[in-house]
Amino acid sequence: MITVALDAMGGDHAPRAEVEGAVLAAREYADVRILLVGIPEKVRPELDRLRHRDLPIEIVPATDVVTMTDSPSHAFRRKKDSSLHVAARLVRDGKADALVSAGNTGAVMTVARFVLGTLPSVDRPALAWAFPNIKEKVSIMLDVGANVDSKPLHMEQFAVMGEIYYRELWGTKRPRIALLSIGEEDVKGNELTKESAALLKQTSLNFVGNVEGRDVFRGNVDVIVCDGFIGNIALKLSEGLVEHIGGMLKKAIKSSLASQIGYALSKKAFGAFRKRTDYSEYGGAPLLGVRGVTIIGHGRSNANAVKNAIRVAAELCRSGMNEKIEQELSAAAAIPARG
């Protein structure tokens, strides 16, 4: 049995989306037990609306809530009784295997990092994001915002963690690892990518070199490694552009009757398109490198997104991902030549 501590108060649609997602997940995944962490008076009525008597769902009380506008440090230091902290402590104390929250991303990262701690061989955790690509698969990018000003050694650790995550979740034996840069040639890039490339070449990873921004959607690599400053800008730029294009299309369609009829006829096609650009289908972003699996859902998560986040959390627990990360990184660190 895998126990997931779900922050029932995180996310824009909490606790309703969280409770519904928990019920969906508990129904669908036979080996998953869910601890709904939150303010009982708010969580209980939501749960009671749904048929849940036979499901392995329990409410664990918390008295406070981290809001979307709380600074990470405020959330970490001043809200120790929040649902987020209580959920993280359940994982730390071995009462749950995974933490899932669609709350304030910065706060979840900070609380997970410092309440759970990092794995012994990991210097910095990394947030990994799945970008859908033109080959109808995903390429993951990490780090998308857990750290800034990363050093080459951190980039190497991101690559190892990303490889294992990709392998466990998408089943590819030797995922293709690349560095996000500004040209494919070795000489292109900044100091960080050049030094990181030199390090990555010495590993046993399937390192294929540099890729550019446009390759994120081409599906020619599986794992894209970058500093969290770059990754976060890439992620938010993509979200912004998808929104922007959606808005422009809507406007263009509204501009004439013919195109409105046209839109009505092609609605199904747009539905499929929207589903492929809907990041909630991909189940949230794991914060790799912390003790205990941590999945951060999008703030706008609906019940389906919460269910998917729980699914991913359970898969990563079953796969023993963290043991594998620790094993590979500690083995790598033992080779003195790589310094």
Q: Distances in Å between the alpha carbon of 5 and those of 15, 137, 295?
A: 14, 29, 10
Burial class (CB in 10 A: 0-12, 13-18, 19+), 324: middle
Q: Out of 9, 23, 26, 234, which residue is the one contacting its own copies (CB under 8 A)?
A: 234
- Tell me the pairing of strands 32-38 and 2-7: parallel
DSSP 321: H
CA atoms within 13 A on the CB side of 3: 17
One-letter amino acid identity for 124?
R
Q: Out of 204, 255, 327, 330, which residue is the one contacting its own copies (CB under 8 A)?
A: 255
Q: Out of 149, 171, 173, 337, which residue is the one contacting its own copies (CB under 8 A)?
A: 149
Q: Out of 232, 294, 301, 308, which residue is the one contacting its own copies (CB under 8 A)?
A: 232
Q: Does 236 bind its own copies (CB under 8 A)?
A: yes
Give the footprint of its own copies on residues 270-299 (CB under 8 A): 270, 272-273, 276-277
Q: With CB under 8 A as the contact rule, which of the stretches 6-14, 48-56, 156-164, 184-192 interacts with its own copies?
A: 184-192
DSSP 153: H
CB 72 within 8 A of CB 146: no
Q: Does 237 bind its own copies (CB under 8 A)?
A: yes
Report the alpha-carbon distance of residue 177 to residue 48 in Å, rounded.
Answer: 46
Q: Which is nearer to its own copies, 58 or 243 (CB)?
A: 243
CA atoms within 13 A on the CB side of 320: 5
Q: Which is nearer to its own copies, 176 or 291 (CB)?
A: 176
Q: With CB under 8 A as the contact rule, which of the stretches 12-20, 84-92, 94-102, 143-151 interacts with its own copies?
A: 143-151
Smallest distance, its own copies to C-beta of residue 216, A: 6
Q: Which is nearer to its own copies, 53 or 214 (CB)?
A: 214
Q: Out of 170, 243, 327, 338, which residue is the one contacting its own copies (CB under 8 A)?
A: 243
Q: Does 216 bind its own copies (CB under 8 A)?
A: yes
Q: Does 12 bind its own copies (CB under 8 A)?
A: no
Q: Does 124 bind its own copies (CB under 8 A)?
A: no
Q: With CB under 8 A as the contact rule, which of the stretches 24-32, 77-85, 241-249, 307-315 interacts with its own copies?
A: 241-249
- Respond yes or no on whether the N-terminal peptide bond of residue 143 is cis (omega within 30° of 0): yes
Q: Does 30 bind its own copies (CB under 8 A)?
A: no
Angle value at C-alpha 294, between 290 and 297, nearest 5 degrees: 140
User: How far is C-alpha 227 from the geometric centre of its chain's CA atoms?
Assistant: 16
Beta bridge mates, 7: 37
Cβ atoms within 10 A of the Cβ of 212, count?
14
Q: Does 103 bind its own copies (CB under 8 A)?
A: no
Report the alpha-carbon distance of residue 145 to residue 166 in Å, rounded.
Answer: 18
Nearest to 121 by CA among 93, 150, 168, 156: 156
Binding pattern for the stretch 45-74 against its own copies, x by CB under 8 A and - elsewhere: --------------------------x---
Q: Which residues of the shown chain bind its own copies in the complex (CB under 8 A)?
A: 71, 106, 133-134, 145, 148-149, 180-183, 185, 187, 189-191, 212-218, 227-230, 232-245, 247-249, 252-253, 255-256, 258-270, 272-273, 276-277
